[in-house]
C-alpha cells in the first residue's frame, strides 16, 4: 500500500498530460513489479491513462472528453537523451505549427540521424525521417523549414503555391545569421530542396546567399514544381518548371 500511496503522491504533483513510466518513480525502482501493478490499478480506476505498453499519462478532462498528451510528451524519449537532442518533430507534426496546414495528423514524424522502423503509441503512428545534419537545439527550427521545403508536395490540405508563399514569409522573418545557417544545412538535402530554397531566397534576401546553392546544382536538371512563376519570380533561373 505504501508503494501505491507514494505513486499517487507523485502523480498528484505532475502536470496534466505528462507522460511517465515506472522509471519516473525513482524511489520505487527496486520494487518494479509492485510499481507496475500499482500503475495498472490506477489505470483501471481512471486516475491515470495508458498511452502504450509501459507508458502512462495524467489525463486532462474537458467538456469534449479526455485530451491526448501533447506530441512532445508522447515522444519525448525519442527527442532527447541525457539532455542531448537526438531527434526533433518534423513533417506532419509541425506543418500546422508553421501555418502550412490546418490539419492535425495522427502520424508523428521525427527527424533523426539514424532511421528506425515506425512504432505505435496510443492512437499515434510514429514515423522517422533521416536527417544528415547534426541535430542541435539551435538548428531544429531551420531543419523543420528545410524539411517542409523538401516535402512541400506532401503537405496536406494545401497546394504548392500556398505552401510556397507561406514558406517565403517564414524565411523572410529569419535573421541574417539564421539564413547563413539555413543555406549551410541545405547542402545535405536533395538538389530539388536546394533549388526551391534558392528561388525563395532570391525573393527575400541578397543573392550572396544563393550563389553557393546555385553552384551546387546541375545546370541542366529541371525541378518539377509547376505554377510557381507568379510566386517566385526567378523560378525559371533555378530550372523550376
Task: Check residue 193 and give its pLDDT.
Answer: 98
Task: Check residue 216 and give its pLDDT.
Answer: 96
Which residue ranges make up each domain of the chain? 2-67, 70-137, 159-241
Task: Check residue 25 and give its pLDDT.
Answer: 82
| Separation between Cα atoms, residue 49 and residue 26, nearest integer Å | 20
**Can you read off the three cell numbers belonging to residue 110?**
521525427
2-67 to CATH, choices 1.10.10, 3.30.530, 3.40.190, 3.40.50: 1.10.10
| Separation between Cα atoms, residue 127 and residue 120, nearest integer Å | 9
3-state secondary structure of 110: strand
Nearest to 56 by CA among 89, 81, 104, 23: 23
- For the chain, which residues score pLDDT lower than 50? none
Task: Check residue 208 and give its pLDDT.
Answer: 74
Task: Check residue 4 and give its pLDDT.
Answer: 85
Task: Check residue 206 and give its pLDDT.
Answer: 63
**Can you read off the three cell numbers belonging to residue 18?**
505528462
Task: Check residue 181 and give its pLDDT.
Answer: 97
Length of the chain: 241
Task: Check residue 26 and give its pLDDT.
Answer: 61
Task: Check residue 34 and give its pLDDT.
Answer: 85
Amino acid at each position: 500500500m505504501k508503494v501505491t500511496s507514494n505513486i499517487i503522491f507523485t502523480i498528484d504533483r505532475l502536470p496534466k498530460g505528462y507522460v511517465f513510466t515506472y522509471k519516473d518513480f525513482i524511489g520505487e525502482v527496486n520494487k518494479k513489479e509492485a510499481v507496475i501493478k500499482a500503475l495498472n490499478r490506477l489505470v483501471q480506476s481512471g486516475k491515470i491513462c495508458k498511452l502504450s505498453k509501459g507508458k502512462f499519462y495524467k489525463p486532462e478532462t474537458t467538456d469534449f472528453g479526455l485530451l491526448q498528451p501533447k506530441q512532445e510528451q508522447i515522444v519525448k524519449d525519442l527527442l532527447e537523451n541525457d539532455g542531448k537532442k537526438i531527434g526533433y518533430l518534423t513533417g506532419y507534426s509541425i506543418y500546422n505549427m508553421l501555418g502550412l496546414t490546418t490539419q492535425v495528423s495522427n502520424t508523428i514524424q521525427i527527424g533523426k540521424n539514424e532511421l528506425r522502423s515506425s512504432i505505435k503509441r496510443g492512437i499515434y503512428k510514429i514515423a522517422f525521417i533521416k536527417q544528415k545534419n547534426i541535430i542541435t537545439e539551435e538548428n531544429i527550427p531551420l531543419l523543420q523549414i528545410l524539411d517542409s521545403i523538401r516535402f512541400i508536395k506532401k503537405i496536406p490540405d494545401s497546394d504548392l503555391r500556398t505552401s510556397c508563399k507561406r514558406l517565403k514569409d517564414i524565411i523572410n522573418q529569419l535573421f541574417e545569421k539564421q539564413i547563413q545557417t539555413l543555406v549551410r544545412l541545405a547542402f545535405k538535402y536533395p538538389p530539388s530542396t536546394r533549388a526551391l530554397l534558392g528561388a525563395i531566397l532570391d525573393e527575400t534576401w541578397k543573392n550572396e546567399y544563393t550563389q553557393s546553392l546555385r553552384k551546387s546544382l546541375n545546370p541542366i536538371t529541371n525541378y518539377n514544381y509547376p505554377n510557381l512563376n507568379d510566386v517566385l519570380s526567378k523560378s525559371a533561373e533555378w530550372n523550376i518548371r
